[in-house]
């Protein structure tokens, strides 16, 4: 386990990364946390929630995380205990935005203004940093959609199938993760106010601004979903059109070859009265007839606009 503790003014921020069961038990004894909350810290991939207790509140917050190795958006979880003068965070993996935030929050950190004066303002600053960190991911998704649109009309339709599928999956996963942010944060504000934790009322407006950010992110994801669905449908239409065009060409060629084969087969029958059977240059005459029949069939299909 990696445990780090930062003190600033009257606030403690304790951060635990991959704690063992014994370490969670010790944490519970130190702060008198409920055993069910400690059990939740050992499980990953659970639903977001806010629980209220007499002296503290417990938050499970899920944020999208971009996996550079797989190029997929995954769910990153952070469990938070907040009391009158402390914030305890527990996670299974490092969230880069919180790493940079920790360096600023430390007493010797370079920050133009105080980051937090109460545990509630500290928690808000952490959540705000996590929400703001989603915007570069959104910009990357927007750029990928525009790139797919450009490639779509450059003859790379088949190669785009996998790329579009990945984009649709990432946008779907992104939406699934962030769709609970608004309600979770509203519930958190209510719980903090009910518990009377110092700084709860003063941070109602900052939390509301953060909630507005979640609405903006949701609206952007909705527009991205519509855009990538349009790209997918257009790409499918282009592929279908090209396949139909290829099938039409092959069908026309097969009919042309059928007429040519029919003529060659008729003259191959060695029956009495078969034309050109014993005439000089019979082979070359037959070859010319086969070619003429093929050209005639081609001209017929061209006039019917079946062959462009």
DSSP per-residue string spanning 13-30: EEEEES--HHHHHHHHHH
pLDDT at 101: 79
Q: Which residue has the tokens 């205990």?
A: 81
d(CA 159, CA 10): 57
pLDDT at 112: 43
DSSP per-residue string spanning 61-102: EEEEEEETTTTEEEEEEEEEEE-SSEEEEEESS--HHHHHHH
Residue 36: burial class (beta carbons within 10 Å; 0-12, 13-18, 19+): exposed
Residue 241: burial class (beta carbons within 10 Å; 0-12, 13-18, 19+): exposed
Angle at alpha carbon of residue 84, lines to 78 and 86, rounded to 5°: 45
DSSP per-residue string spanning the chain: -EEEEEEETTEEEEEEES--HHHHHHHHHHHT--HHHHHHHH--S---EEEE-SS-EEEEEEEEEEETTTTEEEEEEEEEEE-SSEEEEEESS--HHHHHHHHHHSTT---SS-S-SSHHHHHHHHHHHHHHTHHHHHHHHHHHHHHHHHHHTTT-HHHHHHHHHHHHHHHHHHHHHHTTHHHHHHHHHHHHHHHT-TTTGGGHHHHHHHHHHHHHHHHHHHHHHHHHHHHHHHHHHHHHHHHHHHHHHHHHHHHHHHHHHHHHHHHH---TT-TTSSSTTHHHHHHHHHHHHHHHHHHHHHHTTS--
11-17 vs 49-52, strand pairing mode? unpaired
State which fold the 2-135+185-223 domain adopts.
Beta Polymerase; domain 2 (3.30.460)
pLDDT at 139: 94
Asked whether the beta carbons of 124 and 207 are under 8 A apart, the reply is yes
pLDDT at 40: 87
Q: Which of 132, 116, 113 is nearest to 124 (CA)?
A: 116
Ranges under pLDDT 70 in the chain? 1, 45, 106-116, 198-199, 270-274, 276-278, 282, 304-308
d(CA 289, CA 260): 8
**Each residue's pLDDT tens digit, 14-66:** 988 888 888 888 988 988 999 999 888 888 767 899 998 888 899 999 999 98
pLDDT at 45: 67
Domain boundaries, given as residue ranges, for the chain: 2-135+185-223, 246-303
pLDDT at 160: 83
């Amino acid at each position: 386990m990696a445990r780090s503790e930062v003190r600033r003014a009257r606030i403690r921020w304790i951060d635990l990364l991959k704690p063992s069961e014994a370490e969670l038990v010790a944490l519970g004894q130190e702060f008198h946390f409920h055993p069910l909350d400690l059990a939740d810290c050992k499980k990953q991939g659970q639903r977001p929630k806010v629980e209220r207790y007499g002296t503290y509140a417990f938050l499970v917050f899920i944020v999208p995380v971009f996996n550079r190795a797989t190029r997929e958006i995954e769910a990153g979880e952070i469990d938070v205990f907040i009391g009158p003068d402390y914030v305890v965070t527990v996670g299974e993996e490092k969230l880069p935005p919180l790493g940079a935030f920790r360096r600023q929050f430390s007493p010797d950190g370079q920050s133009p203004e105080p980051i937090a004066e109460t545990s509630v303002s500290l928690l808000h600053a952490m959540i705000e940093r996590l929400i703001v960190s989603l915007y570069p991911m959104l910009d990357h998704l927007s750029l990928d959609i525009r790139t797919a649109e450009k490639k779509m009309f450059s003859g790379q339709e088949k190669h785009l199938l996998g790329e579009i599928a990945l984009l649709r999956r990432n946008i779907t996963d992104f939406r699934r993760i962030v769709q609970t942010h608004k309600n979770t944060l509203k519930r958190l504000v209510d719980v903090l106010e009910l518990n009377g934790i110092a700084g709860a009322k003063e941070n109602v407006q900052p939390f509301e601004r953060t909630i507005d950010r979640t609405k903006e992110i949701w609206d952007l994801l909705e527009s991205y979903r519509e855009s990538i669905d349009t790209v997918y449908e257009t790409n499918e239409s282009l592929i279908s059109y090209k396949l139909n065009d290829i099938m039409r060409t092959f069908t026309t060629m097969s009919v042309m070859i059928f007429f040519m084969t029919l003529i060659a087969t008729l003259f191959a029958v060695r029956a009495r009265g078969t034309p050109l059977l014993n005439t000089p240059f019979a082979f070359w005459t037959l070859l010319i007839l086969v070619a003429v029949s093929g050209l005639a069939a081609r001209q017929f299909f061209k006039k019917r606009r079946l062959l462009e």
